[in-house]
Amino acid sequence: EAFRIADEVLRQGVQGISDLIAVPGLINLDFADVKAIMQGAGTALMGVGMGRGLNRMVEATEAAIVSPLLETTIDGAKGVLLNITGGSDMSLLEINEAADTIAKVVHPDANIIFGASVNDKLKDKVLVTVIATGFDKQDTYKKSLIQSRPELTYVDVDEDELDIPSFLRRQAKRHFVRK
């Protein structure tokens, strides 16, 4: 089951990138936009979300920005490529809703490149594709150090011995043991 889910996520990712580049839209995105967001930006996260019904745009956007498999979100991203695809019933208000949701979670000065396209096959569904980059490497590095830090153990030592430098203590132990 886990492999099937991982395969589906990978399929959606590849499909999302190819649709961004190949399918013409109301507001077109192309490979240059993908490159602008990703080049030299370090780690990238990609999410694809689908929504139906009354709150479809919010549902799709939230699914795209949170990855349950990676247990991560796009919080603090400095580069975002956002593409929204929906049927001809998709409204500008819904598109604005998605953009606002993204803007609230990324870095305040994030470069957000936006695209939108209509696919009449989607009818009452919307697809939101997000590529996020530019996460703070220092914060990620600090978090990994904290998580990998070994647990310290307490060793009972006679305080009088601490006045003697450690190399002399070791030398004395070796000398004492040899005789």
How far, in Å, are 52, 111, 164 from residue 81 at the CA level? 22, 8, 62
Of 83, 103, 72, nearest to 16 by C-alpha is: 83
Task: Return the pLDDT at 91.
Answer: 87
Q: Within 13 Å, how many C-alpha atoms sit on residue 37's CB side?
A: 25
**pLDDT given at position 25:** 75
Structure tokens at 60: 């799709």
Q: What is the pLDDT of residue 4?
A: 82
**Directed axis angle between helix 92-105 and helix 56-65, to 10°?**
30
Q: Where are the domains of the chain?
A: 2-142
What pLDDT, in 10s, does the model give residues 61-108? 888 888 665 567 788 888 888 888 888 888 888 889 898 989 888 888
Angle between the N-to-C axes of helices 2-22 and 31-38, in degrees from 0 to 180, rounded to the nearest 10? 120
Three-class SS state of 85:
strand
Dist CA 127 CA 16 (whole Å) = 9
Q: What are phi and psi of 161, to 5 degrees?
A: -70, -25
| pLDDT above 70: percentage of residues in the chain | 79
For the full predicted model, state whether its pTM sits above 0.75. no
Res 63: pLDDT = 87
> What count of Cα atoms within 13 Å lies in the side-chain half-sphere of residue 12?
19
**H or E element: which one contains 14?**
helix 2-22
The fold of the 2-142 domain, in CATH, is 60s Ribosomal Protein L30; Chain: A; (3.30.1330)
Q: How many angstroms separate the CA atoms of 47 and 60, rounded?
A: 10
